[in-house]
C-alpha cells in the first residue's frame, strides 16, 4: 500500500513538473517564435536604438522662448529626463506602473493578478509595454488571435527596450510619445498647451492632471467641459495612488484634493500664439532653405517632421508688447470707424461708384476659401452665386472675441472690409535683428501680411530721404531757411508729362521756415525745392542704399512719397540713420539646428556705409523736431489729447526721431520712430484704399499709427530687462553742421542788435 502511494506521489510530481516545465518551455518557445518574426515583423536593433517619431520644428526666440512650431499631425518636441519634474515622474509611476523600477518590462505579479481576475481590473500593462505598443505596432484589432499575438510581440519588444535603455530613458520616451489631444503630442506640448508652462515648472496637481489623462486623454480632459468633472476625479485618484506608493502623505493628499481644477489653456495651432504672421513668413523661408540645403544623403529636410530648431531674432517680450499695443489701439480706433460708417451709404467705401464696389466684392468672393471649394466640386457660377446670397451660420471676428452670427457670405465679405488693418515691425539698428513683427490684426481671419508682403503708398514718411540727401551732399543745416511759397518744377527738367506744382496741406503758405520746421510740419513746397536741388535720382539712390529694395521711377513726386513700399523696407531704411549711417541688412534668423543640436546653418547680416556719421546725426536731429513740435508732438505730455487717441499721455521725455505720413484721402497712416537702439515702423489702413476715415483728425498717421508705436515703446521702457535706450543720439566729435537753431537764432539776433547799436552810435 505504501509502495502504491509512493508511486502515485512520484507520478504526481512528474506530471506537476512536466506541466510546469512544459508550460515554461511553451512560453519560451512562443517568445522565441515571436522574436523570429513568426507573429509578424519586430523592430530591428537600429529601430530600437532610434525609434522613428515625427518631431515638430521649433521656433526659438532670442530670449529662449518657444514662439511656435511647424507640424502636420503631431506637435511633438521631445525632452530629456532632466526636464521632467520629480512630482510628474512619481505621479505617472504610481498611477500607471507602481512596480516600474522592479520589473524588466513585464510585471509578472500584475499579470498573474490580471489573469486571476480575468482582466476585470486591467491588463497589467507596464509603462514599457505601453511604450512598445505606441512605438512599434498599431492598435489591437478585434480578433482574439490578433490581440494575443500583438500582446506577445509587445512583451518581446518591452524586454528588448528594457535591455537597451535605462528606466529614466524609458519613462521619458513614454511621456514624449503620449498624445493629450488639442495638438498636444508629448509631455512638453501638453504642459505648454494645458498650463502655459515648460514641464519642469509643473506643480504637483498639474502633474497629477496630466498623469490622469494617460489612461484616456478624451475622457479625462480638463479643457473639455463635458469631461472636467471626470478629470477632477481622476486627478484625485492619482493622489490616492501616490499615497499608496509612498510619494504623498494622507495629510498632503487631503489638502491637494480640495484644490479646484485649474488650467491655463494655451493652444499651439498655426493661427494661435505669438508672432503668427512672422511664423508664416519664416515658413516660406524655411521651405526654400530646405530645397537649397539637402541632407548628406540627398534627402530634403521636412520642417514638419524632422524636429529642427530655428533660432530667430524676435524677442518674445517685445513681440508680446507689440501685439498688445496693436490690439489696444486698433480695437479703440475701430469703434470710431464703425460709428462713422453708420452715416456712409456706401460703407465701408468712399470715392467709389456702385460698379467699382461690386468689382471689389466680387474679387474678394473669388479669393475666398468658400468660392474655391465650390469651384473645386464643380458648382456652376449660378449655384455659387446662390450660396453667397443665402444666409448661413458662421463665426466672425470682432475685437471682443469671435462671435456666432447668421449672415450671407456676401455680407460677411462686406463686414470684414470694414476692419482697419495694421502692421508693426521693430529693428535693432546696430545688428539688423528684427525684434518684433506684427503682420496684421488677427492671422486667423486676416491672412494678408502688412510687414513684408503688402506695399502701400508711404506719403510723407519718405521726406527724410530728401532731406538726408541734401544734408549728405550739400551739408545743409536744420537751421537753413527756405521760402514757404508755391514752387513749380518744369516738366522738361525731368522728362515729365506736365509741370509739377505740389500744394501744402490746407494751402497754407508764407514766410520762411527752417528745414527742421519744414520737416516737422511736413511742408510740401520746401521738400519740392530740396529734391529739385539734389535731383530725384540722388534721392532714389540714397533710399535704395538705405534699404528700399522696390524698384521705382525717380521723379520729383517721390519727394511726397508717391510710391508703394513695404513697412519692412521703410523701417530698415530708417534704422540706417540710427546706426550712424551704416546700413545693416535686416535679419530674422540666426541659426538652424537639427534634432540632435548639430548646427546646420548660421546667418550674419551684411553691412555698408550709406551716409557719413555727421549726416546721419543731422537727419536724426531734424526728425526729433517732428516729435517735439511737429506732427508727432502728441508723444509729449503737452499735447491735448482727443478722446480717440489711445493710451495718452505717453510721457516720453527722451530723444525720439520720427515722422508721420498720411496719403491721399487718408488711405494710409504711417508713423516711423527711432531711438538710439530701436527703430519701429507702424502702418494702418483699410484693405482697400477706398476704405478710410473721412477726415484727417482720425485718418492721419499721427492718429492711426502713432498711438500703437507709443504704447509699444512705453511697454518696452517699463520692462527694464530690455535695455531700450532713453539716451540722446550720440553727437559726432567733429560735427561741423549747425544743429542748434535756437542758439543760432539768438546769436543772429545778437549780431543784428550789435550792428544796429554800432550804426546808431555812428549816426549820433
Which residue carries 465679405 as its cell?
Answer: 413
- pLDDT level of residue 124 (50, 70, 90 thresholds): low
pTM of the predicted structure, to 2 decimals: 0.87
Residue 406's region, left for phi above 0, alpha for psi from -120 to 50, else beta, is beta
CA distances from 410 to 363, 364, 381, 385, 406 (A): 11, 9, 14, 9, 12
Residues 388-429 have pLDDT tens digits of 999 999 999 999 999 999 999 999 999 999 999 999 999 999
The pLDDT score that the predictor gives to residue 156 is 75
Residue 723 · residue 672 · CB < 8 Å: no
* Closest by CA position to 660, among listed 537, 574, 540: 574
Residue 667 · residue 692 · CB < 8 Å: yes
Residues 541-587 have pLDDT tens digits of 999 999 999 999 999 999 999 999 999 999 999 999 999 999 999 99
Task: State the SS3 of 563-603.
Answer: CEECHHHHHHHHHHHHCCCEEECCECEEEEECCCCCEEEEC
Q: Which of 162-171, 251-260, 673-682 ranks highest by mean pLDDT?
A: 673-682
pLDDT reading at 19 higher than 70:
no
Measure the CA–CA gap between 669 and 684, rounded to whole angstroms.
Answer: 5
* C-alpha cell belonging to residue 691: 476704405
Residue 321 · residue 712 · CB < 8 Å: yes
Instruction: Return the minimum-mean-pLDDT range out of 340-349, 464-473, 638-647.
Output: 638-647
Measure the CA–CA gap between 243 and 237, rounded to whole angstroms.
Answer: 10
The pLDDT score that the predictor gives to residue 32 is 52
Measure the CA–CA gap between 415 and 395, rounded to whole angstroms.
Answer: 12
pLDDT reading at 665 higher than 70:
yes
Residues 96-110 have pLDDT tens digits of 988 888 887 777 666
Question: How many percent of the chain have pLDDT more than 70?
Answer: 86
Residue 731 · residue 699 · CB < 8 Å: no
- pLDDT level of residue 651 (50, 70, 90 thresholds): confident
Higher pLDDT, 696 or 423: 423
Residue 461 · residue 683 · CB < 8 Å: no
Residues 481-508 have pLDDT tens digits of 999 999 999 999 998 999 999 999 888 8
3-state secondary structure at position 473: helix
The pLDDT score that the predictor gives to residue 762 is 43
The β-bridge partners of 757 are none
* Closest by CA position to 304, among listed 320, 287, 317: 287
Q: How does DSSP assign 17-72, residue by residue?
A: HHHHHHHHHHHHHHHHHHHHTTTS----HHHHHS----B-EEEE-TTS-EEEEE-S
DSSP 612: -
Count the Cβ atoms, other than its own, within 10 Å of residue 399. Answer: 15
Measure the CA–CA gap between 683 and 704, rounded to whole angstroms.
Answer: 8
- pLDDT level of residue 280 (50, 70, 90 thresholds): very high
649 preceded by a cis bond (ω within 30 of 0) = yes
* Closest by CA position to 382, among listed 391, 374, 372: 374
The pLDDT score that the predictor gives to residue 763 is 41
Task: State the SS3 of 277-314.
Answer: HHHHHHHHHHHHHHHHCCCCCCCCCCCCCECCEEEECC
Helix (H) / strand (E) containing 682: strand 678-685
For the structural domain made of 76-267, what CATH number should be given?
1.10.3810.10
The pLDDT score that the predictor gives to residue 38 is 47
How far out from the chain centre does Cα 415 lie?
A: 26
Residues 326-355 have pLDDT tens digits of 999 999 999 999 999 999 999 999 989 999
- pLDDT level of residue 277 (50, 70, 90 thresholds): very high
Question: Please, which residues have CB within 8 angstroms of residue 47's CB and are 6 or more apart in sequence?
Answer: 136
The pLDDT score that the predictor gives to residue 105 is 75
The β-bridge partners of 436 are 426
pLDDT reading at 23 higher than 90:
no
Residue 126 · residue 169 · CB < 8 Å: no
Tell me the HSE value of 114 on the side-chain side, using a 13 A CA sphere: 12
* C-alpha cell belonging to residue 105: 518590462
Can you give the residue ranges of every domain in the chain? Answer: 76-267
How far out from the chain centre does Cα 541 lie?
A: 33
Question: How many percent of the chain have pLDDT more than 90?
Answer: 73
Amino acid at each position: 500500500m505504501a509502495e502504491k502511494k509512493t508511486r502515485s506521489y512520484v507520478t504526481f510530481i512528474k506530471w506537476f513538473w512536466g506541466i510546469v516545465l512544459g508550460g515554461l518551455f511553451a512560453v519560451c518557445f512562443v517568445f522565441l517564435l515571436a522574436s523570429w518574426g513568426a507573429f509578424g515583423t519586430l523592430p530591428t536593433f537600429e529601430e530600437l536604438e532610434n525609434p522613428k517619431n515625427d518631431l515638430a520644428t521649433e521656433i526659438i526666440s532670442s530670449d529662449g522662448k518657444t514662439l511656435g512650431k511647424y507640424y502636420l499631425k503631431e506637435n511633438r518636441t521631445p525632452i530629456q529626463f532632466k526636464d521632467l519634474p520629480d512630482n510628474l515622474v512619481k505621479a505617472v509611476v504610481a498611477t500607471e506602473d507602481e512596480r516600474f523600477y522592479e520589473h524588466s518590462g513585464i510585471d509578472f505579479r500584475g499579470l498573474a493578478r490580471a489573469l486571476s481576475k480575468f482582466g476585470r481590473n486591467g491588463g497589467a500593462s507596464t509603462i514599457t509595454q505601453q511604450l512598445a505598443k505606441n512605438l512599434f505596432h498599431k492598435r489591437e484589432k478585434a480578433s482574439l488571435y490578433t490581440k494575443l499575438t500583438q500582446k506577445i510581440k509587445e512583451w518581446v519588444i518591452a524586454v528588448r527596450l528594457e535591455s537597451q535603455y535605462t528606466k529614466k530613458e524609458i519613462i521619458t520616451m513614454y511621456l514624449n510619445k503620449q498624445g493629450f489631444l488639442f495638438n498636444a503630442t508629448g509631455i512638453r506640448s501638453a504642459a505648454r498647451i494645458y498650463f502655459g508652462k515648460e514641464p519642469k515648472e509643473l506643480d504637483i496637481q498639474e502633474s497629477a492632471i496630466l498623469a490622469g489623462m494617460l489612461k484616456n486623454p478624451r475622457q479625462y480632459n480638463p479643457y473639455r467641459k463635458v469631461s472636467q468633472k471626470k478629470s477632477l476625479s481622476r486627478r484625485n485618484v492619482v493622489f490616492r495612488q501616490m499615497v499608496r506608493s509612498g510619494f504623498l502623505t494622507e495629510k498632503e493628499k487631503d489638502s491637494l484634493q480640495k484644490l479646484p481644477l485649474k488650467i491655463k489653456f494655451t493652444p499651439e495651432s498655426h493661427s494661435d500664439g505669438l508672432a503668427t504672421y512672422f511664423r508664416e513668413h519664416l515658413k516660406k523661408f524655411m521651405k526654400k532653405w530646405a530645397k537649397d540645403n539637402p541632407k548628406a544623403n540627398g534627402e530634403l529636410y521636412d520642417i514638419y517632421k524632422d524636429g529642427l530648431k530655428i533660432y530667430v531674432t524676435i524677442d518674445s517680450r517685445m513681440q508680446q508688447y507689440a501685439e498688445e499695443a496693436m490690439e489696444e489701439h486698433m480695437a479703440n480706433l475701430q469703434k470710431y470707424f464703425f460709428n462713422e460708417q453708420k452715416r456712409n451709404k456706401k460703407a465701408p467705401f468712399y470715392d467709389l461708384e456702385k460698379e467699382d464696389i461690386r468689382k471689389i466684392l466680387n474679387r474678394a468672393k473669388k479669393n475666398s476659401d468658400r468660392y474655391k471649394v465650390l469651384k473645386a466640386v464643380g458648382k456652376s457660377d449660378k449655384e455659387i452665386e446662390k450660396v453667397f446670397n443665402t444666409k448661413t451660420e458662421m463665426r466672425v471676428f470682432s475685437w471682443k472675441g469671435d462671435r456666432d452670427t447668421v449672415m450671407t457670405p456676401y455680407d460677411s465679405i462686406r463686414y470684414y472690409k470694414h476692419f482697419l488693418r495694421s502692421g508693426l515691425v521693430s529693428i535693432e539698428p546696430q545688428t539688423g535683428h528684427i525684434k518684433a513683427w506684427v503682420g496684421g490684426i488677427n492671422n486667423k481671419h486676416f491672412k494678408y501680411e502688412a510687414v513684408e508682403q503688402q506695399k502701400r503708398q508711404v506719403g510723407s514718411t519718405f521726406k527724410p530721404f530728401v532731406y538726408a540727401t541734401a544734408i549728405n551732399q550739400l551739408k545743409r543745416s536744420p537751421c537753413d531757411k527756405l521760402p514757404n511759397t508755391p514752387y513749380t518744377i518744369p516738366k522738361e527738367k525731368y522728362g515729365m508729362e506736365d509741370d509739377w506744382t505740389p500744394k501744402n496741406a490746407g494751402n497754407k503758405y508764407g514766410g520762411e521756415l527752417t528745414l527742421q520746421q519744414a520737416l516737422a510740419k511736413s511742408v510740401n513746397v520746401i521738400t519740392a525745392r530740396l529734391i529739385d536741388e539734389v535731383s530725384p535720382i540722388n534721392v532714389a539712390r540714397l533710399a535704395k542704399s538705405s534699404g528700399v529694395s522696390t524698384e521705382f521711377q525717380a521723379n520729383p513726386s517721390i519727394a511726397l512719397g508717391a510710391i508703394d513700399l513695404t513697412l519692412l523696407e521703410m523701417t530698415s531704411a530708417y534704422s540706417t540713420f540710427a546706426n550712424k549711417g551704416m546700413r545693416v541688412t535686416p535679419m530674422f534668423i540666426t541659426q538652424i539646428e537639427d534634432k540632435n543640436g548639430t548646427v546646420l546653418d548660421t546667418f550674419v547680416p551684411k553691412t555698408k556705409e550709406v551716409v557719413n556719421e555727421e549726416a546721419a546725426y543731422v537727419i536724426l536731429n531734424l526728425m526729433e523736431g517732428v516729435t517735439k513740435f511737429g506732427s508727432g508732438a502728441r508723444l509729449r505730455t503737452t499735447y491735448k489729447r482727443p478722446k480717440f487717441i489711445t493710451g495718452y499721455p505717453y510721457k516720453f521725455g527722451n530723444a525720439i526721431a520720427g515722422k508721420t505720413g498720411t496719403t491721399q484721402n487718408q488711405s494710409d497712416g504711417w508713423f516711423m520712430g527711432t531711438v538710439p537702439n530701436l527703430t519701429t515702423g507702424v502702418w494702418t489702413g483699410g484693405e482697400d484704399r477706398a476704405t478710410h476715415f473721412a477726415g484727417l483728425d482720425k485718418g492721419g498717421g499721427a492718429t492711426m499709427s502713432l498711438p500703437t508705436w507709443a504704447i509699444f515703446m512705453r511697454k518696452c521702457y517699463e520692462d527694464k530687462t530690455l535695455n531700450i535706450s532713453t539716451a540722446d543720439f550720440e553727437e559726432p566729435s567733429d560735427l561741423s553742421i549747425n544743429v542748434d537753431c535756437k542758439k543760432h537764432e539768438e546769436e543772429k539776433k545778437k549780431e543784428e542788435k550789435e550792428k544796429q547799436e554800432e550804426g546808431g552810435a555812428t549816426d549820433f
